[in-house]
Structure 1
Amino acid sequence: MPAADQTALTTSPIAERAQPPAEARRPSEAHGLAWRALTLDDVPDLTRLVTQIEEADGEPFRTSQDEVAEKFDGDWKDPARDTLGGLDPSGALRAWAQVTQPPGDTTTVRTFLEGGVDPQWRGRGIGRDVLAWQIDRARQVLAATGKDVPGRIGAFASEQAAASIDLLRAAGLAPIRVYSELRRPLDVALPQVPAPQGVSVVAWSEDRDDDVRLAHNESFASHWGSEPQTAEAWRSGRSQFAPQWSLLAVDDTTGEVAAYLLSGRYEQDWEIAGHSSGYVELLGVRPAWRRRGIAPALLAGVMARLRADGIEYAEIGVDTENLSGALGLYTSLGFAPFHRSTLYTIEL
């Protein structure tokens, strides 16, 4: 697209670019399912369905019931309008969908699509109908934000989930970014990386958590796909948070949070993986403190803590096109990839 046309596209009102339908297309009941919004009461049945989908798709992880319940957390979410469940005549949940829009978006306003169909109910066109509803609803949500910046409708798909990838492509979503999951065994020699002079590595603490959020927003301001996190969004989705494996790098002179590493403990994944692990959720260094060796010091520190707790592997995810050199850092410390996923989007 010529630059002038692209500029016109992104500066026109989002309400025009999103092209929201008056009503989102609901899946046909001819499939044998009745459709309604999901509620917290559906969490146990939804967890069962999500697990069945993950098993059928060969995912290397499992979503816990606590994580499923968190899909309804947050005042910015509207489950009554932004979720959909398909129930069979017995009342069992056979398909689900959700559209979310993070509240802090400023440079690109994003919507994310999640959902799936019971493996025994696939091949009937249900997934296609559900995705059509999601895209329609995402267009409505984007238009309603009134944020006249570039818009994005996105969905993640694992590399081995061929049917999901085909469905997304057929609906007009295109691959835009690839993410790798990496892991490192902890039963071999660990790197010894001291914190640089003038910086201390300390345990995460509740009283510094909002300082960490602000440090994160600054650290990731120039990263592709990242947007500022509001206080409420930052505090949500923490059922698997592992404070004992989370660290801060603090400037000795000013007391500022210079960098941070936050981890999760996903015990439901251990049986599938065949080993225990600690997962590094977020790692960031503020610009003024970069290129001083703080990130490797934090990684070395968390690996030592994990091994001391009897954990077998450290894991971390990375954007393979990250320009900060993160992938090179992780591999230099012994991490190796074991799984990939791709973000598919419609750019508006």
Structure 2
Amino acid sequence: MAPTDAAALAELVNAIEAADTFGEYYSEEDAADQVKAPLLDLDRGTVGFFDGDTMVGYSSAAHRPLAKEVHRVIISGGVHPDHQRRGLGTELLSAGIASAKALHAIHHPGLPRAVDVQNNARNDSALACYRGAGMTPVRWYSHLRHPLGAAVVDVPTPDGLVLKGCYADNDSEFLAVRNEALLDRCAGVPAPEEHWRPLLGWPAFRPGLSFLLRDADSGTAASTLLTFSWDADTEATGARDAHVIALATRRSYRKRGVAGALIHHALRSARNNGFDQASIEMDADNPTGGNSLYERAGFTVARTEVRYTLYA
């Protein structure tokens, strides 16, 4: 694919969403952000199928700049509903796996390789395609939703902590907390700053709904939360969704109600700023608390996705 394919990619992704439900709609600007992502090697990592000027299928592979023990390459893609059941999905998956192998050979040839792909757990045809390629299910992810409104309750900030917003002079603290928390996740590795900062430049980023809790005595950032909201989702669904990502808490501050207080504050802020709902994706195997934290806050499961992996 090329940067000039952003509009065609957005149209394709939205057609796939209408049929397969990933919870994501794209504007052309959103698609351009994806195509320009720092980890996406357009020449080696992407493939697009076209029918004339219309993109009818795509695959992309994103390597990890840093890896330990195993290098995981994440592939994504899909086929337009009008062009499914013609073998394009199998071809695109094969192309994605080939891209993953090529990127792995360039960036982390000395490590074992894992190729990951994720899809709606109800998308039987895609899951069958993954199994046909020798991939196995390894992890499940819950997509949770909160109705805001009267369902938001007040939770006090734990003693000794103070709430701060997200500003240009403290965004590095968000990255530091996230990177420390990632060490407890599956194949979690730190994100380099040069790949983190472009994320905060996306139009969907909502700094006014992003916060950290700081230790009043030491000044240490204890827990952080970032919120995004995509205008394309609002236009397609009619609901303004505050999507929480990168909710992270340092180990030494866990089991003290820190993350719960932060998520409740974010929910109140989203409600007070006119949002209709909030959402978050949760790794079902997260060792730091799982869905229970969000269920206590009033979230319910909207859908489940499954990750398939090919080890080689």
TM range (shorter): over 0.9
1-side partners of 2:149 and 2:6: how far apart? Answer: 38
Distance 1:274 1:162, change over 3 A: farther
2-side partners of 1:259 and 1:253: how far apart? Answer: 15
2-side partners of 1:299 and 1:60: how far apart? Answer: 21
What RMSD in Å do the two structures reach over aligned CA positions?
Answer: 1.8
Match of 1:79 in 2: 42
CA contact (8 A) 2:120 2:306 kept: yes
- Structure 1 residue 65 corresponds to structure 2 residue 28: yes
Post-superposition offset of 1:292: 1.6
2-side partners of 1:246 and 1:299: how far apart? Answer: 10
Q: Deviations over 1:293-338 (max 9, x none)?
A: 1101101111110111121222111011212113111111111101
Match of 1:208 in 2: 170
Q: Deviations over 1:10-52 (max 9, x none)?
A: xxxxxxxxxxxxxxxxxxxxxxxxxxxx111111111111111
Which TM-score applies when normalising by structure 1? Answer: 0.84
Superposed, 1:313-328 pairs within 5 Å as 313-328=277-292
Question: Unpaired segments of 5 or more residues in structure 2?
Answer: none
Q: Secondary structure at the match of 1:105?
A: coil
CA contact (8 A) 1:180 1:317 kept: yes
Superposed, 1:1-348 pairs within 5 Å as 38-88=1-51, 90-146=52-108, 148-237=110-199, 238-270=202-234, 272-273=236-237, 275-348=239-312
Question: Unpaired segments of 5 or more residues in structure 1?
Answer: 1-37
Distance 1:46 1:300, change over 3 A: same
Post-superposition offset of 1:217: 0.5
Residue identity over aligned pairs, in percent, reads 28
Q: Secondary structure at the match of 1:301?
A: helix
Post-superposition offset of 1:74: 4.3
Q: Deviations over 1:55-82 (max 9, x none)?
A: 1223433133222112232454320221
Based on CA coordinates, which of the two structures has the bigger radius of gyration?
A: 1
Match of 1:27 in 2: none
Post-superposition offset of 1:271: 5.2
2-side partners of 1:214 and 1:200: how far apart? Answer: 18
1-side partners of 2:82 and 2:170: how far apart? Answer: 47
2-side partners of 1:59 and 1:251: how far apart? Answer: 37
1-side partners of 2:160 and 2:22: how far apart? Answer: 43
1-side partners of 2:198 and 2:69: how far apart? Answer: 22
For 1:134, the aligned partner's letter is G
2-side partners of 1:98 and 1:60: how far apart? Answer: 19
CA contact (8 A) 1:106 1:147 kept: no
CA contact (8 A) 2:142 2:284 kept: yes
CA contact (8 A) 2:71 2:108 kept: no
Post-superposition offset of 1:94: 1.8
2-side partners of 1:40 and 1:60: how far apart? Answer: 24
Post-superposition offset of 1:345: 0.6
CA contact (8 A) 1:184 1:335 kept: yes
Q: Secondary structure at the match of 1:316?
A: strand
